[in-house]
A = this chain, B = another copy of it.
Amino acid sequence: MVTNGAAPDVTNPDCPTRVVLDRIGDRWTTLVVLFLEPGPMRFTKLRGAIGGVAPKVLTQTLRAMERDGLLTRTVHAEVPPRVDYELTDLGRSLLAPIRAVTAWAERHVGEVLDARDRYDRAG
């Protein structure tokens, strides 16, 4: 599990948890998880829902998440093409921590923006 045999410990620079932290800290990953929660979604709809994400970048994000077992990608042999993205159990287990983070963001946006204003006006 952990290459050096120790328990996973995010405070250890050499622990692979750092890698995982990078993935779930990714700007778009959290949003993808949030939007996929209700059920499978197609590429274009997901893109529209998230907003402001370039197709290339969304593709990269989705591929990386698929690789890490957070979601599945299903291609239906139809015309027009149809590709569904759906959270795996692992992906769904990420919802709780992500909710904690987004809830914090929603609750404290004001404070952060205020602090930023004060800092910028002062110097």
Please report the total number of A residues contacting B with Cβ < 8 Å: 60
A11, closest chain B residue (CB): B34
A48, closest chain B residue (CB): B13
A95-111 CB mask vs B (1 if < 8 Å, else 0) is 01110111111111111
B110 close to A90 (CB less than 8 A): no
B17 close to A52 (CB less than 8 A): no
A52, closest chain B residue (CB): B13
On whether A105 and B20 interact (CB within 8 A), knowing A34-B10, A69-B111, A69-B114, the answer reads yes
Question: How far is B118's CA from A19's CA once the two chains are assembled, in angstroms?
Answer: 17
A2: Cβ under 8 A from any B Cβ: yes
Residues of B within 8 A of A56 (CB): none
User: Could you tell me which A residues sit within 8 Å of B by CB distance?
Assistant: 1-2, 7-11, 13-17, 19-27, 30-31, 34-35, 49-52, 66-70, 90, 93-94, 96-98, 100-116, 118-120
New A-B pairs, 12, CB < 8 Å, besides A1-B109, A17-B102 = A2-B109, A8-B106, A8-B110, A11-B34, A17-B105, A17-B109, A20-B112, A68-B112, A68-B115, A70-B112, A97-B97, A97-B101
